[in-house]
Chains A and B, each alone.
Chain A
Amino acid sequence: MSMTTWKQALAGSIPEALGAEIEVFETQIGLRKLGRIDEKLFAETRLRRGVYGQRYDNGQRHDGVESQSLAFPLADLTKGPQTKWDAPGMQRIKVPMGKLSSRQLEVMAELAEEYSDGILHVTTRQDVQLHHVHIEDTPDLMRRLAAVGITTREACGNSVRNVTACICAGTCRTEAFDVMPYAKAVTWFLLGHDDVQDMGRKFKISFSGCKTEPCGLASFHDIGLIARTREIDGATRRGFELVVGGGLGAVPYAAQLLSDWVTEEELLPTCQAICRVFARLGEKENRMRARFKFLVVKLGIAEIRRLVAEEREKLRPDPRWVSYLSHLGELDEAPLPEPVAPATPEAEGFARWRATNVKPQRQPGFALVFVRLPLGDFTSDQARGVASLVRRFTTETLRTTVEQNLALRWVHDADLPALHAELVALGLAAPGANGLEDVVSCPGTDTCKLGISSSRGLAAVLAERLGGAESQRSADTSALRVKVSGCFNSCGQHHVADLGFLGVSRNVDGRRVPHFQVVVGGEWANNAGSFGLAIGAVPSKNVPAVVDELTGRYERERQPGESFRAFVQRIGKKEIRASLERFMAVPSYQQDPSYYRDWGDPREYTIGDIGVGECAGEVVSFVAFGLAAAERGLFEAQLLLDDGEWERAAARSLAAMVDAARALTRELHPNLGTGADEIVREFRDRLVEPGIFRDASAGGKHATYLLRHHAAGPPGDAALARQRLEEAQLFVDAAHLCHEALVARASGKVAP
């Protein structure tokens, strides 16, 4: 039986652009294994395809007694600095706006079974992650996703990450209008765009349909867009309030108002201009200060506003800025014409489930249903079950949510009992979605290299403990939000929780003890309106008691209608800290050694496994990427020539030279297009004739190779094709030297 590959099996199913990207990545994997791509460049390359590292991928793991070396087969090969090739990684899958089809979910279920551990994980940015994936499986994984319309491109790395959007869009009572088509337009416009390839750090964009609800969480995004309308000349016009410079991380920054009115027509170019400003002026050396929020604070919002307006004027017009407006309705959803199972009796637990997991839509008779996923996890079998429910009860209205759950929209009220019964059978009918017992957590020390304390271990304990006591709580207390981050980087979004916890470590009598810093009174509503107060650190094993204490006090002492945030502000930080003092003590090791182990982990606690995180990626410039693409092109040309395909080899050689020329020329001309004629012309005018593209030994000779081959057209025989390849290699080598010269000029130094 002949062996088919996934590439062959899916031929014709994968959109050409997505397929080409995956082939590029697969070639880069091959080149890295041959040592022909620098490890930092490869690391950023794979991050920009969502191929992330995991804890212990430096080849070391503390077993509770000592650190062991992990004897991976390819011991000397790395996929990034201090990152072993064979170490399992995490594949992040972007789900733009959280919108997922049943077929896409089924494919993810298949991928989880074959390449991962059979578990799908929903993140706090509406992505889906698969853990323990081997890098050599990722091209096929990406192909299978591409065949159902999903790209993992720019899921990680220093670029625009997944664009998130309100999951109630189109059904919400308070929204100005449905933001989904706008979020989609921004997603696909910026994906792979030149102006987002040179960023010094990740960039996050969110959309919200209204100001008061939390769904978009605009206040802690690099760009937050809040829908609004205006009456202009007798017509209702759509636009956005645009805020910039928000971010959580170690120190949260609230976004600031850039403009209270950005029209639909200006949405895309404004976002593009902001990205350009960040790429041009953002910090790239000091990774800790490289987020956009730091630039906004450094320059001030007025200056940012001026810079964005100035950049906007320079942009090369792009028809995509407005072309999407002619098909705004393509994402509109509708219900099934009739309920499918209206006579189903209510099962046990239905009433509570309905009270907590069902949100009436503004359209009478329909509901948005939350499917609560414990710690954001569900199995492949459960995923297939949900996919069936999506097809049975809806017209493909599934979403992932930022609280690590799923949501089905447009469910007939009459179908709720039947849907609940099906969810019970799947083990997915837990009530309390988005409330106190539905604890949100980042991956933490389970798999993250930066995790300090076990956020998932704690979250699991809290969820179990809080879930058993729901009948003893008021609705107000049950609605509180608990979020846990494994470290100060805030991936669990603890700053905006009612009760937030971030992992820290303390030294007690010479031993390390896992702790969590307690942060109270954050505001989830009003688009994450404000950040909580840090109260103090308690040992991890005492956090459940802290939760009991604080929720108990709120339950007993709150005033009518008082939110937890207002309660915290009223009684004050000092009083809250005083009530937590007794939980801050750590018993001696002899008294209770369990304090010296983290939740769900029998090992003696250590911070020795903390590695170098990849959230910051590697700063690789647009030019470096372009030159790497040129090198890859030369490699492919050589292979084609070796296979006797000299015509294709010649074309690939020329394309490699054009790639290198474009990378360099764009440094001087940011609006450079992608057509070869324009690139060659601008390269000649800006780099060759001024004498910039030259080196000490050959002068400007190597530049002539591109000019001549571009003008000459295809070579006539294999010998000429070989000559072209050799000259292309010399050209790309010279391009590297020119890059060094440009860098030296930019920094004021003289090039060697």
Chain B
Amino acid sequence: MSQALGWKLRVKVPLTAGGELDAHEVGDTFHRWIQQRSVDDVAIYVSDYRHVANGPEVLLVGHATDLVLDRAGGRLGLALQRKRDGAAELVPAVHDALRRLYGGAARLAESLGKPLTLFASGELELRLTDRLRAPNDPATAERLLPELRRALEPLWAGRSFSLERAGGDAEPFGARATCAAAPAIAEVVAAAARL
């Protein structure tokens, strides 16, 4: 399968309102995971961009995926970016990203001694960074929002959720999912692990 056919995308779980994670501590944690050889990718860099406003504060850069403490859009959260070797179909690609994202969130919370409830259980931001495959236009929305909805359904135990296009026209195609009656974050993490 050609590299070019795999989906490139980004999923982000924001922190709950008022929640904070210290980028310095997160960076140290990423370094420890590398020492422990416990990263599910070839982990190469821990990049510090705390000096940049509303950006990726600290990244665990891997060969195929990055795990990012991210403040894009002014909201701090944890993001998983799939850069290469992604699944050719969107639903499995999203599922893989969600497994890694929520698994990363759980592990990070545990490593830092923070409650898992730091992460919002009923919110998710998605971005499809492959502009060739998913240009940011109404046609993409019509084509892919239903697939994204299908991908997210198992995450919140069948509870209803909204899925809307998000982000500016010049940005990659994005969507925001909100589940008002989401189960507890621990259940969401468990559901993601089963995807």
CB distance from B9 to the nearest CB of A (A): 10
For the complex of A and B, the 3 pairs showing the least CB-CB separation, nearest first, are A427-B53, A374-B51, A379-B55
Q: Is the CB of A119 within 8 A of B52?
A: yes
Contact A446 B47 (CB under 8 A): yes
For A404-447 the 0/1 string (1 means CB < 8 A from B) is 00000000000000000000001110000000000000000011
Question: A113–B168 Cα gap in the complex (Å)?
Answer: 14
Binds A, one of B56-64, B145-153, B155-163, B181-189: B56-64
Q: Flag if A68 contacts B27 (CB, 8 Å).
A: no
Instruction: Establish whether residues B45 and A447, one from each chain, have CB atoms under 8 Å apart when the complex forms.
Output: yes
A378 adjacent to chain B (CB < 8 Å): yes
**Using Cβ atoms and an 8 Å threshold, which residues of chain A touch B49?**
117, 119, 377
The one of A131, A132, A136, A427 that contacts B3, using a Cβ cutoff of 8 Å: A136
Check A88 against B61 for contact (C-beta < 8 Å): yes
Report B47 CB to chain A, min CB distance, Å. 6
CB of B70, distance to nearest CB on chain A (Å) = 9
B84 neighbours in A (Cβ, 8 Å):
134, 137
Main secondary structure of the interface of A (DSSP, over half): mixed
Across the interface, which residues of B come within 8 angstroms of A428, CB to CB?
A: 53
Given contacts A377-B51, A460-B51, contact A602 B45 (CB under 8 A): no
Asked if B72 contacts A56 (CB within 8 A), the reply is: no
Within 8 A of B (CB), among A342-384: 374-375, 377-379, 381-382, 384
> Which residue of the partner chain, among A4, A64, A600, contacts B132 with CB atoms under 8 Å?
A4
Q: Which residues of A contact B55 (CB under 8 A)?
A: 118-119, 377, 379, 381-382
Complex A-B: 28 CB contacts under 8 Å: A5-B132, A64-B31, A64-B35, A73-B85, A86-B63, A87-B44, A113-B172, A114-B129, A114-B131, A117-B61, A132-B47, A132-B61, A132-B66, A134-B83, A134-B84, A374-B51, A377-B55, A379-B72, A381-B55, A381-B73, A381-B171, A446-B45, A457-B48, A464-B51, A602-B27, A602-B28, A602-B31, A603-B31
User: Distance in Å from the Cβ of A645 to the closest Cβ of chain B?
Assistant: 23
Contact A460 B63 (CB under 8 A): no
User: Which of B72, B83, B129 is A381 in contact with, Cβ under 8 Å?
Assistant: B72
CA distance A132 to B130 in the complex (A): 17
Using an 8 Å CB-CB cutoff, how does the interface string of A82-125 with B read, 1 for contact, 0 for none? Answer: 00001110000000000000000010011001110111000000
Closest residue to B5 on the A side, CB-wise? Answer: A3
Residues on A with beta carbons closer than 8 Å to the beta carbon of B34: 61, 63, 68
**A615: interface (CB < 8 Å):** no
Cβ contact within 8 Å between B52 and A379: yes
A63 and B42 CA atoms in complex are apart in Å by 13
Cβ of A70 within 8 Å of any chain B Cβ, yes or no, is yes
Q: Does B17 contact A (CB under 8 A)?
A: no
A134-B84, A602-B28 given; A382·B53 CB < 8 A = yes
The residues in B between 89 and 119 inclusive whose CB is less than 8 angstroms from any CB of A are none
Q: Which residue on chain A has the smallest CB distance to residue B52?
A: A377
User: A426 contacts which chain B residues (CB < 8 A)?
Assistant: 53
Pick the residue among B37, B54, B66, B131 that contacts A427 (CB under 8 A). Answer: B54
B130 and A114: CB pair below 8 A? yes
Is A589 close to B, CB under 8 A? Answer: no
A482 CB → nearest B CB, Å: 15
Q: Which residues of A contact B (CB under 8 A)?
A: 3-6, 9, 56, 61, 63-65, 68, 70-73, 86-88, 106, 109-110, 113-115, 117-119, 131-132, 134, 136-137, 374-375, 377-379, 381-382, 384, 426-428, 446-447, 456-457, 460, 463-464, 600-603
How extensive is the interface on chain B, given as a class? 35 or more
Cross-chain contact of A460 among B3, B50, B53 (Cβ < 8 A): B50
Q: Is B4 an interface residue (CB 8 A)?
A: yes
Chain B residues, CB < 8 A from A374? 51-52
Q: Which residues of B contact A (CB under 8 A)?
A: 3-5, 8, 27-28, 31, 34-35, 37, 42, 44-45, 47-56, 59, 61, 63, 66, 72-73, 83-85, 129-133, 168, 170-172
Complex Cα gap A134–B133 (Å)? 19
Instruction: Establish whether residues A600 and B42, one from each chain, have CB atoms under 8 Å apart when the complex forms.
Output: no
| B50 contact set on A, CB distance < 8 A | 460
19 more A-B residue pairs beyond the given contacts A114-B131, A117-B59, with a C-beta to C-beta distance below 8 A: A70-B42, A73-B63, A86-B42, A119-B52, A119-B55, A132-B47, A132-B61, A377-B49, A377-B52, A377-B55, A382-B54, A384-B168, A384-B170, A427-B52, A428-B53, A446-B45, A446-B48, A457-B48, A460-B50
CA distance A114 to B34 in the complex (A): 25
Tell me how far the C-beta of A691 lies from the nearest C-beta in chain B, rounded to whole angstroms: 50
Contacting residues, chain A, for B42 (C-beta < 8 A): 70-72, 86
Query: Taking CB as reference atom, which chain A residue is nearest B10?
Result: A113
Q: Which residue of A lies closest to B37 (CB)?
A: A68
A115, A118, A132, A446 pick with most chain B CB within 10 angstroms = A118
- Residues of the B chain whose Cβ atoms lie less than 8 Å from the Cβ of A378: 52
Chain A residues within an 8 Å CB radius of B35: 63-65
Across-interface contacts of A6 in B (CB, < 8 A): 132
Q: How far apart are the CA atoms of A137 and B84 in the complex, in Å?
A: 10
Complexed CA–CA distance, A115 and B130 (Å): 9
Is A72 touching B51 in the complex (CB atoms < 8 A)? no
A603 cross-chain contacts in B, Cβ below 8 A:
31
Q: How far is the CA of A649 from the CA of B45 in the complex (A)?
A: 45
Chain B residues closer than 8 Å to A3, beta-carbon distance = 4-5, 133
Q: How far is the CA of A219 from the CA of B111 in the complex (A)?
A: 52
For B133, the closest partner residue in chain A by CB is A3
CB nearest neighbor in B for A134: B84
CB neighbours (8 Å) of B170 from chain A are 106, 109, 384
The closest CB in chain B to the CB of A111 belongs to: B131
The residue on B at minimum CB distance from A136 is B3
Output the least CB separation between B130 and chain A (Å). Answer: 7
Expressed in whole angstroms, the Cα–Cα distance for A115 and B5 within the complex equals 15
A87 to chain B, nearest CB (A): 8
A residues less than 8 Å from B129 (CB atoms): 113-114
Whether B48 lies near A56 (C-beta < 8 A) is no
* Chain B positions within 8 Å of A106 at CB level: 170
